[in-house]
Structure 1
Amino acid sequence: MTAETALPGPDSVVRGPRRLPGLGNLPAFARDPLAFLTGLRDRGDLVDWRLGPQRALFVSRPEHIGELLTGVETVFRHPELGWAFTLLLGDGVVTSEGPAWRRKRALVQPAVRPRQVRSYAGTMAECAAALADGWRPGQCVDVRREMLALTQRIAVRTLFGAETAGREDVIGSAMDVAQRAIGAEFRGLTLFLPAWVPTPGRRALRGAVGVIDAEVGRVTEQRRHSGEERDDLLSRLLAARDEEGRPLSDKEVRDEAVTLYIGGHETTGTTLAWAWYLLSRNPGARARLGRELAEVLGGRTPSFDDLRLLPYTEQVVKETLRLYPPVWLMTGIAKEGSTLGGLPLAEGTVVWSSQWSAHRDARWFPDPGAFRPERWEVGAEPAVPDHAWFPFGGGARACLGARFAMVEAVLVLATLAQRFHVDLGPGEVAPRTGLTLQPGSPMPARLRNVEQDIPEARLTRTQE
């Protein structure tokens, strides 16, 4: 793609960095995707580049991002996400298109509506309280591992109920293998290899997906055979019917269950790990969070009804999602006759946007590298433009589990942070790109009891 064939006009499209024959900008992208995409943003709002043989356009302005997010299924085709990603998620609501996507979304959406998410809140807080009961002051923990294990338990209980008790680690280990395989494929040349080409990563992924399929199939068969209805996501998937009265097939149930599992486990666990990292390095924010929790909860486990009383806790989560968005990349493929910003796009152009670079753009977020939860206070200035913050995507294909994830993150953080300080070491933790934006190294931390700080926090609050 060139500026002339994609978006005409010398002031419309900026040519990207120098590209290699046949490879385009793939080597630079593979070395450090986040730095590469940030570099594209700094070149201009519309940047022409190539990922291997693919013609690509990178967009950075919120209005252009909004066109991309809201135009998938109409102006843009849903992108092919690679062999590894598709093998894991199958033909679920994330990967399907057209009528199949509309049918599946209609069937899955009722399971994650606000009323249903409310019913899962008790399990979220209960699991978090059980973890806190097992923590001890002075204990050293790996924050990332602790948060992923916790959200894994929550995801398994809310999704499958009791049938997987004692089997959480089996699913979790398989998901870890899948995460690494998808990240490795996306950053390397195997993204463009035919599906039949064997690689060590692909063999490992096939084994992991086999484990996941067996576990999900076992639970689904048990539930169908028992005929028992429960208040979990699997029961809702099994009970769902489309307009013609057709249920989801076992394969469709498997695909949607895996998609919901990843959304409820991987993304939220990662967000919580990053939240502890940021709070540990920002004692002022941690103190303000503690004051809110002490005043509202007074030591009791939070419930769904407490969410509206914990605005700063939610702001901490939103600011964490700004700085370390689990989903860090969105793409769409231009259809024939597509436009963006009123300018024509060549058919087949892959339009890219990045939560990582947009969320750290100083035009929309002053002092973008700073952790400032108060950005999200009602009436705060400057106001954040629409589509400058999009951790859950947007438009018709916005993440169905967004409400579930926010409720889970706020309740877990409130439950744990009112009882413990989590003090991470001084070293920097760099992010690693994969299926989600994960911490690139262990996150060792020492636990400290928060009770001794509560009287002081209340006194400070009164003085304010």
Structure 2
Amino acid sequence: MPATYVSGTAPGALPLVGHAWPLMRRPLDFLRSLPAHGDLVEIRLGSVPAYVPCHPDLLRQVLFDDRTFDKGGAFFTRFRDVVGNGLGSCEHRDHRRQRRLVQPSFHRTRLEGYAEVMADEAARLSASWSGGRVVDVFPAMFGLALRTVTRTLFSAHLAEEEVARLQDSFRVALGGLFRRMFVPGPVQRLPLPANRRYARALADLHGTVDRLVTAYRRGGQDHGDLLSTLIAAREEDGRGGLTDAEIHDQVTTMVFGGSETVAAALTWSLYALVRHPEAARELRAELDAVLGDRAVTPADLPRLPRTGQVVTESLRLYPPAWLFTRVTTAPVELAGRRLPPGTTVVVSPPVVHHSPAVHLCPAEFRPARWPADQPGRPPRDGFAIFGVGARKCVGDVYAMTEATLVLATLCHRWRMECAPGTDPRPRPLATVQYPRRLLMRLSERGPDTARPAARPCGTRG
């Protein structure tokens, strides 16, 4: 840890709106420019100052001290409109109880059952594809992830039309959430078409979840899924569980975390493999050696280290979670600057993931930089996607397991190359970033040596 840190201020703030324009137009470029101005950089959210830690030690201080740097600020204020006060968004005072009650839903024995669903949904998607078809990757991955999370949450399948409606509602809600992070409150209350669409999407989303929670509570049966576990959860003394409102918020949080985030991770992983043919060849060689002609199963995960490394490196280079906020609850010193209570701190994983102080040659795609002994599990160091400390994501192993199984399934059967119309520039949406338009042409796999090089796919990474 350095003896002293450099504090700075980002240039370009405008009266009243601050840095809202670059944050809305080119947020990732703006955030990645901040380390040039110091280890802790002041930006303006409207007229309010906020601080971005650009040094890994400062990021660790913020994330580990969740009592002082509590979840709050512009991001979480808006995020709670979508997911409520669930485990991923609640304040410090509510977290320990919620974590204790939700943790059994992600016990190893439960995860084994969820992994079977993940592998099955991946196989279904792969079987539905055909050679020569052009796939818009992010919508395909989002649909897959949403079907998977709804099956693991509600083992009694939602009808296809209900899944499609959930998908549309989430997309509209998250798009509205992104805009509301930077738009003044009075504008959000105007009877504009965008505001009306946002309100309808939230009502539809929450209505669907309420209906399912009520049906499960009345049925009283353990379906072996996440919702059954949440309903059965009890305090250590056997009394007191989650209320229906709390279950609603946990379910909504899980649908969000298990759909948009996983879909973005898979989309970037497929993009990275097209951009880096040698990494793709190494991954396919591993799949051929382990699987031969059979399908991927959860039992194969320990023998797929390269596949796991590709997922992890894709998450580092193209982190889906690009921004979240914390608010100080007491006076605290950060990088030598005294922050009063109520100060907003902006955490941006891309800032640290792309730092040469953390990773050698951070702009390069190097799957081998990660340990190969735990595929399907997130690394401990130099990796901010799932958080650290007490607020580390409870579903991190779930997400990594799904991404690894899906990537193995698709790459075992299909070769991909970019099709005309692809625009891989990152597009932020609420908490995730994904390519603006990633079109892939599919072809059945043959011997690697007999195939021409894939068509180049943009220039990032």
* TM-score above 0.5, yes or no: yes
Structure 1 pair 154/403, CA: closer, same or farther in 2 (3 Å)?
same
Alignment check: 8 A CA contact 2:56 2:358 kept: no
Q: Using the TM superposition, give the Cα deviation of residue 197 of structure 1 relative to its aligned residue in structure 2, in angstroms.
A: 5.4
Match of 2:104 in 1: 110
Match of 1:326 in 2: 320
Q: Distance in 2 between matches of 1:11 and 1:327?
A: 26
Match of 2:210 in 1: 217
Q: Tell me the secondary structure at the aligned position of residue 177 of structure 2.
A: helix
Alignment check: 8 A CA contact 2:306 2:372 kept: no
Tell whether 2:130 aligns with 1:141.
Answer: no
Match of 1:250 in 2: 244
Tell whether 2:175 aligns with 1:169.
Answer: no
The amino acid that maps onto 1:300 is R
Q: Distance in 1 between matches of 2:424 and 2:199?
A: 30
The amino acid that maps onto 1:149 is G
Match of 2:180 in 1: 185
Structure 1 pair 253/10, CA: closer, same or farther in 2 (3 Å)?
closer
The amino acid that maps onto 1:205 is Y
* Cα offsets for 1:47-92 (capped at 9, x unmatched): 12221132212111111110111111x2222213355422111121
Structure 1 pair 195/443, CA: closer, same or farther in 2 (3 Å)?
closer
**Residue segments in structure 1 that go unaligned for 5+ positions in a row:** 1-8, 380-384, 457-464
Match of 1:310 in 2: 304
- The correspondence for 2:219, drawn from 223, 226, 236, is 226
Structure 1 pair 138/228, CA: closer, same or farther in 2 (3 Å)?
same
Q: Tell me the secondary structure at the aligned position of residue 436 of structure 2.
A: coil
Structure 1 pair 386/275, CA: closer, same or farther in 2 (3 Å)?
closer
Q: Distance in 2 between matches of 1:64 and 1:83?
A: 23
Structure 1 pair 145/99, CA: closer, same or farther in 2 (3 Å)?
same
Alignment check: 8 A CA contact 1:431 1:437 kept: no
- The correspondence for 1:434, drawn from 429, 438, 441, is 429
* Cα offsets for 1:169-203 (capped at 9, x unmatched): 111111111121112222x323x449755544332
- The correspondence for 1:301, drawn from 295, 304, 328, is 295
Q: Using the TM superposition, give the Cα deviation of residue 437 of structure 1 relative to its aligned residue in structure 2, in angstroms.
A: 2.7
- TM-score with structure 1 setting the length: 0.88
Q: Using the TM superposition, give the Cα deviation of residue 352 of structure 1 relative to its aligned residue in structure 2, in angstroms.
A: 2.0
**Larger displacement relative to structure 2 (393-402 or 45-54):** 45-54
Q: Distance in 1 between matches of 2:5 and 2:228?
A: 54
* Cα offsets for 1:77-117 (capped at 9, x unmatched): 22133554221111211222233222112111111133321
Q: Distance in 1 between matches of 2:4 and 2:57?
A: 20
CA RMSD of aligned residues (A): 2.4
Q: Tell me the secondary structure at the aligned position of residue 394 of structure 2.
A: coil
Alignment check: 8 A CA contact 1:62 1:386 kept: no
Q: Distance in 2 between matches of 1:320 and 1:149?
A: 20
Q: Tell me the secondary structure at the aligned position of residue 424 of structure 2.
A: coil
Match of 2:441 in 1: 446
* Cα offsets for 1:265-324 (capped at 9, x unmatched): 111111111111111111111100000000011132222222111110000000110111
Aligned pairs, how many? 440
Q: Distance in 2 between matches of 1:66 and 1:11?
A: 14
Alignment check: 8 A CA contact 1:360 1:369 kept: yes
Match of 2:55 in 1: 61
Alignment check: 8 A CA contact 1:216 1:254 kept: yes
Tell whether 2:8 aligns with 1:22.
Answer: no
Q: Distance in 2 between matches of 1:246 and 1:197?
A: 41
- TM-score with structure 2 setting the length: 0.89
The amino acid that maps onto 2:133 is Q
Q: Using the TM superposition, give the Cα deviation of residue 428 of structure 1 relative to its aligned residue in structure 2, in angstroms.
A: 4.2
- The correspondence for 1:356, drawn from 350, 353, 356, is 350
Alignment check: 8 A CA contact 1:55 1:348 kept: no
Q: Using the TM superposition, give the Cα deviation of residue 455 of structure 1 relative to its aligned residue in structure 2, in angstroms.
A: 10
**Aligned pairs for 1:37-116 within 5 A:** 37-72=31-66, 74-80=67-73, 81=75, 84-116=78-110
Q: Tell me the secondary structure at the aligned position of residue 162 of structure 1.
A: coil
Structure 1 pair 13/438, CA: closer, same or farther in 2 (3 Å)?
closer
* Cα offsets for 1:398-430 (capped at 9, x unmatched): 111111000000011111111111222374411
**Residue segments in structure 2 that go unaligned for 5+ positions in a row:** 374-378, 452-461
Match of 1:129 in 2: 123
Alignment check: 8 A CA contact 1:58 1:352 kept: yes
Structure 1 pair 248/62, CA: closer, same or farther in 2 (3 Å)?
same
Structure 1 pair 224/11, CA: closer, same or farther in 2 (3 Å)?
closer
Q: Distance in 2 between matches of 1:420 and 1:170?
A: 29
Alignment check: 8 A CA contact 1:45 1:61 kept: yes
* Cα offsets for 1:303-349 (capped at 9, x unmatched): 22221111100000001101111111232222323123565323322
Structure 1 pair 193/388, CA: closer, same or farther in 2 (3 Å)?
farther
- The correspondence for 1:375, drawn from 369, 382, 393, is 369
Tell whether 2:229 aligns with 1:204.
Answer: no
Q: Tell me the secondary structure at the aligned position of residue 278 of structure 1.
A: helix
